[in-house]
Amino acid sequence: MADEKTVLIGKCGPTVMLPKQGSRVVPLRQTAPLRVDVAGGGPVGLAFACTIKSLLGEQVSVRVHDRRWMRQGNRVVWKGLAEGNNRREQVVTLQSNVWASLPVAVQERLFAPGKFSEMWPLGPDSPASKGRPRNIKIRWIEDCLLDMAQDVYGIEVVPGAYTPPARFDGLHVLAIADGARSATRAAFSSQFGTPSRELFSVDGSPLDERVLGIRVTAKSPDEHTVPLTVAQNRFLFNSLGGGFINMRLTAEEASEIVALGESGPVSCIGKFGCTMRPASNGRFVCDRHRAVFKPSVDKLSYLWPRILDGLRFFGVGVADVVGINSFTLGMQQMSKFTAQLAPSTFGFLLGDAANSLHFWPGRGLNTGLKSALSLAVNLQKRWRGKAFRAADFAQHEGIMQQLQYREKSRAWTTMLMPDSEGTPRGIEDRIREGLQGPADRAALVKTLFERVLDIKKRMGDRMGPLATDEWYYGRVNALDTRTLKVLVESGAWITREIGGEEVEVPSAAPAATAPEPVRRGLSLVS
For residue 99, name the pLDDT band (cuts at 50, 70, 90). Answer: very high
What is the greatest pairwise CA distance in the chain?
103
Kindly list the distances between the CA atom of residue 344 and the CA atoms of 338, 383, 385, in Å, as whole numbers in the listed order: 14, 13, 12
Residue 56's CB: how many other CB atoms inside 10 A?
A: 22
Does a structural domain hold residue 289? yes
- pLDDT, tens digit, 9 for 90 and up, residues 367-411: 999 999 999 999 999 999 999 999 999 999 999 999 999 999 988
- pLDDT, tens digit, 9 for 90 and up, residues 38-97: 999 999 999 999 999 999 999 999 999 999 999 999 999 999 988 988 888 888 999 999
Query: What secondary structure does DSSP assign to 134-195, as a single string?
Result: EEEEHHHHHHHHHHHHHHTS--EEEES-----S--TT--EEEE-S-TT-HHHHHTHHHH---
Query: Residues with Cβ < 8 Å from 470, sequence gap 6 or more?
Result: none
Question: Is residue 54 domain-shared with residue 185, that is, in the same domain?
Answer: yes
For residue 525, name the pLDDT band (cuts at 50, 70, 90). Answer: very low
Question: Is residue 469 domain-shared with residue 397, that is, in the same domain?
Answer: no
Q: Where a domain ends, among 414, 448, 466?
A: 414
Does a structural domain hold residue 500? no
Query: Residues with Cβ < 8 Å from 397, sequence gap 6 or more?
Result: 336, 337, 338
Q: 154, 183, 137: which is closest to 40 by C-alpha?
A: 183
- pLDDT, tens digit, 9 for 90 and up, residues 334-355: 999 999 999 999 999 999 999 8
- pLDDT, tens digit, 9 for 90 and up, residues 163-186: 999 999 899 999 999 998 999 999
Question: Is residue 190 domain-shared with residue 234, that is, in the same domain?
Answer: no
Three-state DSSP class for residue 324? strand
Report whether 237 contacts 217 (CB < 8 A). no
Higher pLDDT, 11 or 180: 180
pLDDT above 80 (res 8): no
By CB atoms closer than 10 A (0-12, 13-18, 19+), residue 147 is middle
User: Averaged over 174-199, what is the pLDDT?
Assistant: 94
Kindly list the distances between the CA atom of residue 223 and the CA atoms of 41, 92, 110, 137, 207, in Å, as whole numbers in the listed order: 32, 15, 21, 17, 32
Question: Is residue 20 domain-shared with residue 113, that is, in the same domain?
Answer: no
Strands 338-342 and 201-202: unpaired
Does a structural domain hold residue 226? yes
Question: Is residue 322 domain-shared with residue 464, that is, in the same domain?
Answer: yes
Question: Is residue 138 domain-shared with residue 164, that is, in the same domain?
Answer: yes
β-sheet bridge partners, residue 76: 71
Question: Is residue 225 domain-shared with residue 166, that is, in the same domain?
Answer: no
For residue 19, name the pLDDT band (cuts at 50, 70, 90). Answer: very low
Question: Is residue 269 domain-shared with residue 253, that is, in the same domain?
Answer: yes
β-sheet bridge partners, residue 205: 202
Which contiguous run of DSSP H or E holds residue 410? helix 394-415
For residue 359, name the pLDDT band (cuts at 50, 70, 90). Answer: low
Kindly list the distances between the CA atom of residue 150 and the CA atoms of 103, 235, 518, in Å, as whole numbers in the listed order: 16, 39, 11
Q: Which pLDDT score is estimated for 465?
A: 83
Average pLDDT value for the chain: 87
Does a structural domain hold residue 247? yes
Which contiguous run of DSSP H or E holds residue 448? helix 441-459
Residue 397's CB: how many other CB atoms inside 10 A?
A: 18
Q: Which pLDDT score is estimated for 361?
A: 59
Does a structural domain hold residue 261? yes
Query: Residues with Cβ < 8 Å from 334, sequence gap 6 or more?
Result: 192, 193, 195, 349, 354, 355, 404
- pLDDT, tens digit, 9 for 90 and up, residues 473-519: 999 999 999 999 999 999 998 888 888 889 989 898 875 333 344 33
Structural domain range at position 1? 1-30
Question: Is residue 50 domain-shared with residue 144, that is, in the same domain?
Answer: yes
β-sheet bridge partners, residue 201: 206
Does a structural domain hold residue 51? yes
Report whether 116 contacts 110 (CB < 8 A). yes
β-sheet bridge partners, residue 174: 37, 347
- pLDDT, tens digit, 9 for 90 and up, residues 217-267: 987 887 899 999 999 999 999 887 678 899 999 999 999 999 999 888 888
Report whether 225 contacts 455 (CB < 8 A). no
Q: Using CA atoms, how far apart are residues 258 and 296, in angstroms rounded to an integer?
A: 10
Question: Is residue 367 domain-shared with residue 441, that is, in the same domain?
Answer: no
β-sheet bridge partners, residue 70: 77
Question: Is residue 182 domain-shared with residue 154, that is, in the same domain?
Answer: yes
Q: Encode 207-228: b = buried (16+ Cβ within 10 Å), e = exposed.
A: bbbbbbbbbbebebebbbbbbb
CATH assignment at residue 381: 3.50.50.60
Does a structural domain hold residue 506? no
Question: Is residue 353 domain-shared with residue 401, that is, in the same domain?
Answer: yes
Find the helix packing angle between 138-151 and 43-56, rounded to 10°. 30
Q: Which pLDDT score is estimated for 43?
A: 97
Report whether 178 contacts 184 (CB < 8 A). yes
Please give the tally of structural domains in the chain. 3
Residue 173's CB: how many other CB atoms inside 10 A?
A: 23
Does a structural domain hold residue 525? no
Kindly list the distances between the CA atom of residue 398 and the CA atoms of 356, 380, 498, 503, in Å, as whole numbers in the listed order: 18, 17, 21, 11
**HEC string for 276-298:** EEECHHHCEEECCCCCEEHHHCC
Q: What is the model's pTM?
A: 0.84
Q: Which pLDDT score is estimated for 363?
A: 77
Q: Where are the beta strands (DSSP E) in 421-461?
A: 424-426
